[in-house]
Amino acid sequence: MRRIHDAHVAVPGLAVVEVAAADDATAFAVQALLGARCAIAPADRTTREPGEPGVRLRCFVNLHPEPDS
């Protein structure tokens, strides 16, 4: 996976979440749960490390409440 940069977590309320799961379906289900609770920049694919079990997924989370419309 790419390196996490300071800009990804520059202010309180921003976070990077890495999910380690047995399979793609589980990793994307976790991402969907996060997306239902807060704003995220979703991942479109998982990654696999050769010789390691399972998959990894990274998404970027913004916990700031959305302004009223």
- Let me know if residue 23 belongs to a domain: yes
- Let me know if residue 69 belongs to a domain: no
* pLDDT tens column, 4-63: 555 556 678 888 899 999 999 999 999 999 999 889 999 999 999 999 999 999 998 888
- Let me know if residue 53 belongs to a domain: yes
pTM for the whole structure: 0.76
| Helix (H) or strand (E) segment spanning residue 28 | helix 24-37
Kindly state the DSSP code that residue 63 receives in the 8-state scheme: -
- Let me know if residue 48 belongs to a domain: yes
Give me the domain span that covers residue 28: 14-58
- Let me know if residue 7 belongs to a domain: no
CA 43, CA 34: separation in Å to the nearest integer? 12
- Let me know if residue 51 belongs to a domain: yes
The total domain count for the chain is 1
